[in-house]
Amino acid sequence: MQNIAAVPVGMAPGYFSASPFFPCAPLELKEFNLDYRGNLTLCCQLSGYSGANQETDVMGNLHEVSLAEACDRFRQRVATYLTDKRDRVSRGEFSELDHFPCWYCVNYLGKVSALQSMPQHAWGQARPNRSVD
């Protein structure tokens, strides 16, 4: 498809990736996610829902801070996210489920912490991969 399409075609994150560092455009600082409330967020998945730890996902609301300030916070947050992920990988704590980039991100940010209260759900048994609670 990539060879014959008239427009660029690529695989979006979300599927299994052998590499723990799948090239996600926001994590490569190539794009930003703005949710419907005007929040610039780290994670585009479950946009508009920050879970229990809003401060880990929302870099700023554009009704309250400038785009430049929110983008600076975003760059700093990406650096922390990637450091945390490298540390997790180096400690051998990167699970099979963590190879799904979007799962890793929503889990890291605590957006799916409610699943832990559902032991019958397969993902509810996955341990959190975030360093902040």
| pLDDT at residue 132 in the model | 47
Mean pLDDT score across all residues of the chain = 83
- The per-residue pLDDT for range 84-111, each reduced to its tens digit, is 999 999 999 999 889 999 889 888 888 8
* Domain extent listing, the chain: 33-125
- The per-residue pLDDT for range 47-87, each reduced to its tens digit, is 776 666 667 889 999 999 999 999 999 999 999 999 999 99
- The per-residue pLDDT for range 25-55, each reduced to its tens digit, is 889 998 898 988 999 999 888 777 666 666 7
CA dist 64 and 57 (Å) reads 16
CB-count exposure of residue 79 (10 Å: 0-12, 13-18, 19+):
exposed
Q: Reduce the DSSP state of residue 59 to 3 states and report it.
A: strand
Q: How confident is the model at residue 9 (pLDDT cuts 50, 70, 90)?
A: confident
The DSSP string of 8-44 is ---PPBTB--SSSS---TTTTTS--EE-TTSEEES--
- The per-residue pLDDT for range 110-132, each reduced to its tens digit, is 888 777 777 776 666 666 665 54
State the pTM of this model: 0.78
**Tally of CB atoms within 10 A around 32:** 16
